[in-house]
Amino acid sequence: MSNSLSVIIPTYNEADNIGAIVKSVSVRLAEENIDGEILVVDDGSTDRSAENARQNGAVVLSHPRNMGYGAALKTGIRKCGGEIVIFMDADGQHSCDDLIRIYQALATQPVLDMVVGARDTESQQVLSRAPGKKLLTMVANYLAGTDIPDLNSGLRAIRTKLALKYLAILPNTFSFTTTITLAFFKDGLNVDYLPITTKKRVGNKSTVKFFRDGMRTLLLIVRTMMLFSPLRIFLPMSLGLFLLAGADFLFETLIVNQKISISDTFILLSVSGILIFFFGLLADQLANIRRELK
C-alpha cells in the first residue's frame, strides 16, 4: 500500500486564511516526502477563497451554492485520489505538525481505520458551547457503549475506501464528523486518538449555531444509533414503561384500594412496554441484516 494522501479542506468565505493554509500544508508534505494532494472544496463562497486556494497550489472543487460542511467533505472524498483522506479546517485552528502526526499514525499502523485529533485542555474553545457539547458527548458515549475522547474534532485521517462506504448515511451538515465517529465505533472499526492543541480561529466567526446545530446533532446521534444499535434506544424506553407500570400497580394495590388492583393505566403502560421492546428487537434484526448485505 502506497498510503497516498488527500488533504480535504472544506472552505466557506475564508479568503484571508486559505492561501496560507494551503501553502503551509504543501510545504510540510514536501518536507516529509509524502505523496499527497490538497483538495479545497469551496462551498459556495462569495469571496476570493477559491482563487486564493488555487493560486497556492490546491485543487479546487466548487459548489454552486452553500451546501454545508458535510456536503463539502463528501465532494472531496468522492473526487480524491489518495488512499488516506485527512479533513482539516480552513479557519487556521489546526497545525500542520498535527496533520503529519495523524497521517503517520494511520499510515504506519495497518490495523487502524481512523485516527482523530483529540483537542486537549489548552485548545481554544467557545465556553458557551461547553455544556451542550458535554451533553452530546454523554449521549454519544452511552449509545456507542464507549468513552469518546473528542466527538466532533475536525482534524482526522480515514482510509478512503471506508469513508466512501459510509457516505450514504452521513449528513451534509457539521454533524458529519459526529456521525462517522459513531458509525465506526458501532461497526467495530479501529479508531485511535492523538492529542492536539487547536489555536484561536482566524477571520470570520464560526457559522455553527449552538441551539440549531446542537439539536440537529442530537437527532443525528439517535438516527445513527437506530441504524447500528436500536436496542440502545428501545430497551431503556421499554424498561421505563415497565417500571412506571409497576409503580402504578403498587400505588393502586397498597394505597388506593389496599388489595390487588390492576388499573387501566397499568395495562396501558405494560402493553406499551411490550410493544416497544418487540419493535426494538425487530429494528435490531433489520439493522444486522442491513450490515450483512453490504
Q: Which is nearest to 7 in space by CA: 35, 33, 38?
A: 38
Whether 137 shows a pLDDT value over 90: the answer reads no
What are 210's three cell numbers?
449552538
Whether 1 shows a pLDDT value over 50: the answer reads no
Contact present, 247 and 263 (Cβ < 8 Å): no
Whether 204 shows a pLDDT value over 80: the answer reads no
Each residue of 146-174: pLDDT tens digit? 889 998 899 999 999 999 999 988 889 88
Neighbouring CB atoms inside 10 A of 93's CB total: 21
Whether 234 shows a pLDDT value over 80: the answer reads yes
CATH T-level topology, domain 5-228:
Spore Coat Polysaccharide Biosynthesis Protein SpsA; Chain A (3.90.550)
Pairing, β 36-43 against β 84-87? unpaired
DSSP secondary structure letter of residue 207: -
Q: What is the predicted pLDDT for the residue at 201?
A: 65
Residues in Cβ contact with 151 at an 8 Å cutoff, skipping those fewer than 6 apart = 133, 136, 137, 140, 177, 178, 181
Angstrom CA distances, 89 to 2, 49, 67, 86, 134, stand at 25, 13, 16, 10, 22
Span 69-97, average pLDDT: 95
Distance CA 33, CA 29 (A): 6
Angstrom CA distances, 60 to 6, 25, 50, 214, stand at 13, 15, 6, 30
Q: pTM of the prediction?
A: 0.79
Contact present, 49 and 42 (Cβ < 8 Å): yes
Question: Is residue 43 very low, low, confident or very high in pLDDT (cuts 50, 70, 90)?
Answer: very high
Q: Which amino acid is at 112?
A: L
Whether 213 shows a pLDDT value over 70: the answer reads no
